[in-house]
Structure 1
Amino acid sequence: MTQEPAPYEAGLRSLELETSLADLPVEGRFPDWLEGTLLRNGPARFQVGEEPYRHWFDGHAMLHAFTLEAGTVSYRNRFLRSGTHDEAMAEGRIARSEFATDPCRSIFGRVMAVFRPRVTDNANINVARLARDFVALTETPLPIRFDPESLETLGHVEWADELRGDITTAHPHVDPASGILYSYLTHFSRTSTYRLWALEPGSRSRRELASLPVDRPAYMHSFAMTGRHLVLSEFPLVVNPLEMALRDRPFIENYRWEPERGTLYQVFDRKTGEHRATCRGPACFAFHHVNAFDDPDTGEVVLDLAAWDDARIIDQLYLKRLRRASPELVAAEPRRLRLDLTAGTVRTRTLSTHRMELPRIAPGLEGRRHRYVWATGNRVPGHFTDELVKLDSDTGEVRTWHEPGCHPGEPVVVRPPASAPSGDGAGGNGSDLSGGTGSDGNGGTGSDGNGGTGSDGTGGGRGGNDRPDSRAEDAGVVLSVVLDARSESSFLLVLDAASLEERARARVPHAVPLGFHGQFFGRAGSAPRG
């Protein structure tokens, strides 16, 4: 019996087309101040020859660029020519192991892989600025440079240091004030190590801040930064590196859920690298940290997560399951954790019963106290994302944007030029494409305070020249690439960041595969924010 496909199945098909499109058809009106490029990253080829990839996280990376200028929108997409991509295309088969796909399943293949290891550089998760380079990122420490205008692949980043590791994060943090970039490496060995590092603006020499030995490293997709601290969240999804060395299964399938370990939050001083505390909380799992900040009154580290009670979500994102009409996905909930660095304890509360993932905050507030969170959500429990959500973390109030048959991607918040949230000296919308420092239809629904429908979908919202109060944390707009399952096409959606009312959309004639993360880079930007 043939199973009915998921309504968003068009977003999980391979897209072989590489194209450049000028002047996309626009509904509504873009703000006059909104100029720059939204760069998005995600998988776009889910099969090579007769060999399919097994997991959503495995597909070949494709970059997408939406450039906004004078009220018009252009679009360009290109595959990232990684070593993984080029070898697979040359050999007509999957050539390197991915997150959940291993081409070396025979005994011979595993033995040969020991002598000729080929680590994937399929950087399909995120984009960022490193020194003067635009880079695509994944969880192996092999960032790939690309041209932000042509999207041409330029090669791997060549570090000017000897820092080594096997696994990293595609979510580095940038201090809004100093421009210093922070990240970490996990080095697998008999005694494995977490290594935190910092990168000064313009430099390619990473400075090791701290190292922490660990017997069974945790799978950590992201980490947290405050004004004073860096936090590694060791969820109890852990691996024995010696077992992994046998290479008898794909990367993630070597990890085991051990809830009795609880979750360990390793807190480090951001300036000195001193290991300040290990705080133990209940077992949970998360891909994404929302934000973190220091509470000056209590001395606690406050950390927000889009969290699950366990790690089942990884299994639920295998393509065979995800392509079902009813994939039965467990959605994440927004949680606030308070880490007591003296007692080593964790207090947790749920910020809202409204489920959400792919969270973003206002640019310039990274590591500082925030109020609002923008994210994707799903109205039907167990289904794929079908709405955008704005959460007031102080009151728990939720606003939503929803349109039947549409599946939005990660919301990216863009603030008006020269603006900053009240109380913060930082501002800007991202890096400058010219060299500054440093997720789809007709009609539409807007939002009300209860998550209901609001605007009439005709591109309402404020007009082009008006400028929101730049001092407000939720000033500006939200950008999302949306899959329209009805027409099997996609569009760039622009919403008012405060009300989530639609302002404009620009349609692409094909379905953009469901991707992961992106950043907006202004035409006259400053250091990377958020």
Structure 2
Amino acid sequence: MSTTRRSLLAALLAGGISPELLALGLPGFAVDAPELAPLRGLGGEALDAPAAAIEGRLPAGLSGRYFRNGPGLMQRAGQRYRHWFDGDGLLQAWTLADGRVNHRARFVQTEKFRAEQEAGRFLLPAFGTAIPAERPVRGSDSVNAANTSVLLQGNSLYALWEGGSAYELDPATLATRGVKAWSDELRGMPFSAHPKVEADGTVWNFGTANGRLAVYQIGADGQVRRHAVLDVKAPAMLHDFAVSQRHLVFLLAPITMDWAAVRGGQSMLEAMRWGADQPTRVLVIDKADFSKRRVHEMPASHVFHFGNAWDDGRLLRVDYVQGVPLPEFNAAAEQMMRGERPVRADSTPRVLEIDLLTGRLSVTARSEAVEFPVVDPRVVAQRHRFVWYPTAVDTGARWGFNGLMRLDIDSGARERFSFGNDVVVEEHVLVPKPGSTREGEGWLVGMGYDVKRRRSFLSVFDAMRLAGGPLARAWLPYAVPYGFHGRFYPA
């Protein structure tokens, strides 16, 4: 074994990747775009930082746990996943208390992950990588990556992946408990990675399979209140939705599955076809009666993420981020997984208004480069004014976001902060200040990666004063692979 390989193995077993080793080339991964280095991934090991180094001062009232999820393992035995969406789920827990911060990360011990760890190689197909199955595939949970988002209910933490069941973990230790079945009737039904949680704890979610749409209403106690499976000709990919006071809103993009291509050896993602000349269907479902549905049409639009929605009985307003068409997005994701900087293609803010009486639709578009929109958790499914996003400010050809933006969707005013081009900013979530009642009165908490230091950090901003910069940053002694989504739960 070479000195380089021994050093790499030692770093992995120690629970992190050192800055020096992040500069090494690994199979199938280039080194010409340093901001992409975290996408190399880990080898299946745990990460622990009992005391993150604090820069600045944490707000006295900020106390709780911030859970995040994302793809953490990208390659085995010299074979590398082709798409960012494929990596095995790495669940992170940041604990903030008494001005101190600690961090831990554990891989979700899915059936797939355990089998491939034992074998030391990929055994099962992934969403975007065609791998011949060496184990039986009995359903979507056989290939469940559990890598997209999180949900905490009581003493159960769920790792979410839109194509299959939620995986339950212990929130204190991040030990995996197993697949979650919300009821015997719903066992194995996909449970998406974007549940909407209203202020009273009511959870709304969905899942899709073979053109059908499963809709869930779950109480704050974790019990299913209502559910339905609707034949709505759901697209081959449906990632997110929005909830207002009276409605569930889905944008059904013109994405179909070429099953002949799948049988011919293509991955699911490669076999998806984008109908640029077909409309995106706007499906509006009555929350009180799932059988009451209406469908509107708008030009073909690819949407991954929504901010929020509200309605007054006649006007339904939905804010979302307009993404690039699926073929261009997938091509960029494959380049990123090779360590190559993709051609710049921005996703941008949109506000959709639907007149529920006339069916008239109107869309207001903006030009800022953004993604991962969030709102104050107290206004989910209610009238809201502000949306926060990671944003790209004068990044040129460099990949990723380097700042944060707050948008007033009533007035169109914005506030931004940029770290500069040596930092990649991930999703930030809003944490209300204890005792506050005004929308936006709180902190914005999320992760970033410093390209020069080759370290990941947690940043804390005053959500209504972004331009002033971070109040504090908590630095890890290692880099963490880029994740997708998280939630903060106050102590």
Equivalent residue number for residue 486 of structure 1 = 452
Q: Contact conserved, 1:372 with 1:391, CA < 8 A, in 2?
A: yes
SS at match of 1:252: coil
Equivalent residue number for residue 392 of structure 1 = 408
SS at match of 1:253: coil
Equivalent residue number for residue 48 of structure 1 = 76
In the TM superposition, residue 319 of structure 1 has moved relative to its aligned partner by 4.1
CA distance in 2, matches of 1:43, 1:402: 26
In the TM superposition, residue 167 of structure 1 has moved relative to its aligned partner by 4.4
Within 5 Å, which residues of 2 pair with 1:253-292? 253-292=270-309
SS at match of 2:377: coil
Within 5 Å, which residues of 2 pair with 1:138-157? 138-157=161-180
Q: When the two structures are aligned, how many residues end up with a matched partner?
A: 457
Equivalent residue number for residue 196 of structure 1 = 215
Equivalent residue number for residue 62 of structure 1 = 90
In the TM superposition, residue 503 of structure 1 has moved relative to its aligned partner by 0.5
Within 5 Å, which residues of 2 pair with 1:289-438? 289-296=306-313, 299-308=314-323, 310-321=325-336, 323-324=338-339, 326-350=341-365, 352-379=366-393, 380-382=395-397, 383-404=399-420, 405-420=422-437
The AA in structure 2 aligned to 1:267 is: V
Equivalent residue number for residue 443 of structure 1 = none
CA distance in 2, matches of 1:145, 1:116: 18
Within 5 Å, which residues of 2 pair with 1:204-223? 204-205=223-224, 207-209=226-228, 211-214=230-233, 217-223=235-241
SS at match of 2:270: helix
Change beyond 3 A, Cα 1:364–1:147: same
Taking structure 2 as the reference length, the TM-score comes to 0.87
Equivalent residue number for residue 182 of structure 1 = 204
CA distance in 1, matches of 2:431, 2:164: 28
2:39 counterpart of 1:12: yes
- Cα deviation, 1:440-485, whole Å, max 9, x if unaligned, reads xxxxxxxxxxxxxxxxxxxxxxxxxxxxxxx2x2211111111011
CA distance in 2, matches of 1:375, 1:364: 17
Equivalent residue number for residue 432 of structure 1 = none
Q: Contact conserved, 1:5 with 1:323, CA < 8 A, in 2?
A: no
Change beyond 3 A, Cα 1:4–1:140: closer
SS at match of 1:279: strand
Q: Contact conserved, 1:174 with 1:182, CA < 8 A, in 2?
A: yes
SS at match of 1:259: coil
Equivalent residue number for residue 249 of structure 2 = 231
CA distance in 2, matches of 1:39, 1:283: 34
Q: Contact conserved, 2:335 with 2:342, CA < 8 A, in 1?
A: no
Equivalent residue number for residue 26 of structure 2 = none
Equivalent residue number for residue 498 of structure 1 = 464
- Cα deviation, 1:304-357, whole Å, max 9, x if unaligned, reads 11003522453144343455553113121100111233443421111x321200
CA distance in 2, matches of 1:262, 1:59: 31
In the TM superposition, residue 212 of structure 1 has moved relative to its aligned partner by 2.7
SS at match of 2:230: strand
CA distance in 1, matches of 2:375, 2:136: 42
Change beyond 3 A, Cα 1:55–1:113: same
Change beyond 3 A, Cα 1:244–1:209: farther
Q: Contact conserved, 1:375 with 1:390, CA < 8 A, in 2?
A: yes
RMSD: 2.4
The AA in structure 2 aligned to 1:511 is: A
Q: Contact conserved, 1:27 with 1:505, CA < 8 A, in 2?
A: yes
Q: Contact conserved, 1:313 with 1:329, CA < 8 A, in 2?
A: no
In the TM superposition, residue 101 of structure 1 has moved relative to its aligned partner by 1.3
SS at match of 1:41: strand
Out of 462, 467, 475, the residue aligned to residue 507 of structure 1 is 475
In the TM superposition, residue 497 of structure 1 has moved relative to its aligned partner by 0.6
Out of 82, 95, 103, the residue aligned to residue 123 of structure 2 is 95
Q: Contact conserved, 1:218 with 1:234, CA < 8 A, in 2?
A: no
Change beyond 3 A, Cα 1:68–1:130: closer
The AA in structure 2 aligned to 1:169 is: S
Q: Contact conserved, 1:235 with 1:283, CA < 8 A, in 2?
A: yes
In the TM superposition, residue 166 of structure 1 has moved relative to its aligned partner by 5.8
- Cα deviation, 1:390-437, whole Å, max 9, x if unaligned, reads 1121222222222230001101111111333xxxxxxxxxxxxxxxxx
Taking structure 1 as the reference length, the TM-score comes to 0.81
In the TM superposition, residue 233 of structure 1 has moved relative to its aligned partner by 1.1
In the TM superposition, residue 41 of structure 1 has moved relative to its aligned partner by 0.7
Q: Contact conserved, 2:198 with 2:377, CA < 8 A, in 1?
A: no
Equivalent residue number for residue 452 of structure 1 = none
Equivalent residue number for residue 429 of structure 1 = none
Equivalent residue number for residue 448 of structure 1 = none
The AA in structure 2 aligned to 1:231 is: V
Change beyond 3 A, Cα 1:381–1:122: same
Structure 1 residues not aligned, in runs of 5+: 421-470, 524-530
Within 5 Å, which residues of 2 pair with 1:114-125? 119-125=142-148
Equivalent residue number for residue 15 of structure 2 = none
Identity %, equivalent residues: 30
Equivalent residue number for residue 150 of structure 2 = 127
2:45 counterpart of 1:21: no
Change beyond 3 A, Cα 1:245–1:317: closer
In the TM superposition, residue 243 of structure 1 has moved relative to its aligned partner by 4.1
Within 5 Å, which residues of 2 pair with 1:162-181? 162-163=185-186, 167-177=190-200, 179-181=201-203
